Amino acid sequence: MKLNAGFSYIEIVFTVAILALLATSATPYLENTILRNKEKVLRENLRDIRGAIDKYKVAYDAGKVTKIIGESGYPKTLEVLEEGITDITTPDKRKIRFIRKIPADPMYDGQPTSAANTWGKRSYASEADDPQEGNDVFDVYSSSTKKGLNGISYNQW
């Protein structure tokens, strides 16, 4: 008695079709998972940078930074937060750093020259409804105009 070993062509096609169906049903889930993770990173990065900006303002108000009449007390650039400032209240003039490293905007689509250039920046003098860069950095926002999973544009977070 002879036994035929192996699978028929129909069985293989049927198995491949089932695998293709499973793969196409999992793709949207994976895309949403990836987007959800990028949104989480965006929220964390915004919180970290905004916290560093607030720490700079507190240091300025506490007199640790040389005050200049007419200035808002916010950093001139995001890079200042990473590079640090000289604490004028200490005898050894040590540097105060407000953030270890400026994180990049995870929603940025272009090729950045630096992580700080991936963010939109709002100066103290600009309106909240129409953020513009200026002499200082009062706030940051994502430069992406895409909408998040919550329906709100990333640059409004």
Q: Which residue has the higher pLDDT, 3 or 53?
A: 53
pLDDT at 123 over 60: yes
Which of 117, 116, 134 shows the shortest CA–CA distance to 125? 134
Q: What value does the mean pLDDT of the chain take?
A: 90
Task: Quickly list DSSP for 5-37.
Answer: -S--HHHHHHHHHHHHHHHHHHHHHHHHHHHHH
CA distance 41 to 121: 18
Residue 54 and residue 72 in contact, taking contact as beta carbons nearer than 8 Å: no
Q: Which amino acid appears at position 97 of this protein?
A: R
Could you read off the pLDDT of 15-31 as tens digits, one per residue?
Answer: 999 998 888 887 777 88
Residue 87 and residue 64 in contact, taking contact as beta carbons nearer than 8 Å: yes
Q: Indicate the pTM of the whole model.
A: 0.80
Rounded to 10 degrees, the C-alpha dihedral 35/37/42/47 comes to 150
Angstrom distances, CA of residue 22 to CA of 13, 33, 73, 134: 14, 17, 56, 52
DSSP code of residue 147: B
3-state secondary structure labels for all residues of 86-130:
ECCCCCCCCEECCCCCCCCCCCCCCCCCCHHHHEEEECCCCCCCC
- Confidence band, pLDDT 50/70/90 cuts, at residue 110: confident
Supply the pLDDT for residue 83.
94
Could you read off the pLDDT of 28-64 as tens digits, one per residue?
Answer: 778 888 899 999 999 999 999 999 999 999 999 999 9
